[in-house]
Amino acid sequence: MPRPLRVAIVGAGPAGIYAADALLKSDTAAEPGVSIDIFERMPAPFGLIRYGVAPDHPRIKGIITALHQVLDKPQVRLFGNVNYGTDVHLDDLRSFYDAVVFSTGAMFDRELRIPGVELDGSFGAADFASWYDGHPDVPRTWDLSAEKVAVLGVGNVALDVARILAKTAEELLPTEIPANVHEGLAANKAVEVHVFGRRGPAQAKFSPMELRELDHSPNIEVIVNPEDIDYDEGSIAERRKNKQTDMVAKTLENWAIRDVGDRPHKLFLHFFESPVEILGENGEVVGLRTERTELDGTGNVKGTGVTTDWDVRSVYRAVGYLSDELPKLPWD
């Protein structure tokens, strides 16, 4: 009698669960069907949707509802607290399953190779996101004593970090914020947050909705320098072919021409500033040095040799995520 195709999936984040959903909807799912076991290192599923999305983004966290529907299928089993390489090994999986899918994701910060990254007060955005989402692998406390903070990067993770640092703890109370995180943010001293991108507005990777949400807080004044609004032929071409790029650019243009208001926390979006060094004294962050860049006609930038030292006491690096190397698997 034929048996179902047996598949193991390592990692119960969105990618792993959507892989299970794709298998259930494929030709493979016809009789005798498919049987799927999902192994997850954490006690609960959903990966970065649970531990990487800011608590004030319930719209994105709502994806969990769709993921639940897949896990509720009778052909799918979830095994939590199972660590690949320790509790289960590749040879085991190959012995008991017809196929193995690895979807362990990327939860570490990409390396930023500039002097000073090792200083106290220099943080990875992925680690900070894990803290404010209550990830069990990170400490329960976080140093939020800096009044002036820099965030490096112009993607949605950088916006999340900047927004959480600039908001008040009370604004986050209606969310799923853990109690220890609320306590930590209540003592947050940050009143200035500076976000730095080495290219221009047309190259920013913000989504339009996430960018506009910055301005919704009654406590955050978003400030853009009019001198940072600049486009070359490559930038204009990108705006014409990409509606989201154009929407982001228009939002930034509107903020650049308005008067600065009186909201207590200032969030500056800086463009054409490439980080070259995190400055330190006695092992602690005391500033950030950037080099001014300019467009080269293609949408890329080149350095001008002009540097600026910024008075900040913490630096958060939001320059992308990095996956970890898994035993017996190729890794690049």
pLDDT tens-place values along the chain, 332 residues long = 688 999 999 999 999 999 999 999 987 667 789 999 999 999 999 998 888 888 888 777 778 999 999 999 999 999 999 999 999 999 999 999 999 999 998 888 999 999 999 999 999 999 999 999 999 989 999 999 999 999 999 999 999 999 999 999 999 999 889 999 999 999 999 999 999 999 999 999 999 999 999 999 999 999 999 999 999 999 999 999 999 999 999 999 999 999 999 999 999 999 999 999 999 999 999 999 999 999 999 999 999 999 999 999 999 999 999 988 999 999 88
> Position 253: which residue type?
E
Q: Where are the beta strands (DSSP E) in the chain?
A: 5-10, 34-39, 76-79, 99-102, 108-109, 122-124, 148-152, 192-196, 220-224, 265-270, 273-281, 284-295, 301-310, 314-317, 321-322
Q: Where are the alpha helices (DSSP H) in 189-232?
A: 208-213
The C-alpha atoms of residue 62 and residue 47 are separated, in whole angstroms, by 13
Residue 204: C-alpha distances to residues 10, 69, 217, 250, 272 (Å): 33, 34, 21, 12, 11
CA dihedral 27, 30, 32, 38 (to 10 degrees): 60
pLDDT of residue 150: 98
Q: Which helix (H) or strand (E) holds 18?
A: helix 14-25
pLDDT of residue 107: 87
* Overall pTM surpassing 0.75 (yes/no): yes
| Domains, the chain, with CATH or none | 5-102 (3.40.50.720), 108-322 (3.50.50.60)
pLDDT of residue 1: 64
Task: Give the CB-side neighbour count of residue 142, counting CA atoms within 13 A.
Answer: 31
Q: Beta strand pairing status for 192-196 and 301-310?
A: unpaired
Q: Beta strand pairing status for 265-270 and 273-281?
A: unpaired
The C-alpha atoms of residue 332 and residue 325 are separated, in whole angstroms, by 8
One DSSP character per residue, 72-102 reads: TSTTEEEE-S--BTTTB-HHHHHHH-SEEEE
Adjacent-strand bridge partners of 234: none
Q: Which residues, other chains included, contact 328 with Cβ-Cβ below 8 Å and sequence gap of 6+?
A: 89, 90
